[in-house]
Amino acid sequence: MTPDAIKQALLASYARDGGINHLDGVNLPSQDTVAELARDFMHVLFPGYFGSSLAKGEVSAWLDGLLAKINQRLSTEIEKALRFAKDPDPAANARRITSELLTQLPDIRRVVQTDVTAAFEGDPAAKNVEEIILAYPCVLVISLQRIAHILYHQQVPLLPRMLTEYGHERTGVDLHPGARIGTHFFIDHCVGVVIGETATIGNHVKIYQGVTLGAKSFDVDGAGNPVKGGKRHPDIGDHVTIYAHATILGGDTHIGAGSVIGGNVWLLQSMPPNSVAYYKGDDLIIRERQKKEALIMEPGEFTI
């Protein structure tokens, strides 16, 4: 086909197959800008780690410039998302949401520090904290999810998923911004982990590669279409360890605190606290952990 024939064929496709066009619509959030925001957020959370070294005397001026850049870009992208959702006052609401998110950055850092600690203490191969921050993919994907989670609860469309998708592309972890995650969260090796929108994860939870916290089934409407929303994903208690390629499904599935899920376990039922789940042959075994295996819960945990 000639170039003009290709163009005409594409124009005809745009007219015929309109479901994947966005023509004459509002501007959508920019993937490139969201990627820049993701990188800038990581600089704010971990100053001096990514790029040139940073002296203590330079931090104030550096932070002024970085926060101004984030404020402008984030407000612009949130406004685009709100215009897409037909918000009645997208500019003012974008400024408000941006200010509220930036105000919470110190609290996010406080929680993210617990994730770094969990990774360092949970991996005997880790030599130092610097290695964790620079080379462990869980730091990026969990940190961005904690930021996106705030935007999600502010009901900002599009942008929270775009932020977590940046982490997904870089790490192989599909961590929905709606998931509620406690402190000291560690995903070892990261690759292939999927955590759904309505999942809740307690404090001091460790997950290995290939784990899925997913939905068991979907309700459908009269036309056979999936019903959006509703509790679809499991709840994971404090101090739970989930080994590689385990799959835990269902919004009514609760894994009790202090439990261990063995590798490759397929679980559709709840487990009481301090339990162990594993396969013996073809049979799924769920038993109480021995007393010497019991974990002591730590008081005073915090979430955001």
At 174-221, the pLDDT tens digits run: 999 999 999 999 999 999 999 999 999 999 999 999 999 999 977 777
298: pLDDT strictly greater than 50: no
CA angle (175, 25, 176) in 5-degree steps: 5
Sign of the CA dihedral running 277, 281, 283, 287? negative
Looking at residue 283, what is its pLDDT?
94
Looking at residue 297, what is its pLDDT?
37
Sign of the CA dihedral running 81, 86, 87, 92? positive
Looking at residue 299, what is its pLDDT?
38
303: pLDDT strictly greater than 80: no
Regarding pTM above 0.85, the answer is yes
- pLDDT level of residue 19 (50, 70, 90 thresholds): confident
Looking at residue 227, what is its pLDDT?
79
- pLDDT level of residue 291 (50, 70, 90 thresholds): low
Mean pLDDT of the chain: 93
* CB crowding 61-86: b at 16 or more within 10 Å, else e: ebeeeeeeebeebbbbbbbbbbbbee
- State the Cα torsion 274-114-41-211 to the nearest 10°: -20
Rounded to 5 degrees, what are φ and ψ at 226? -60, 140
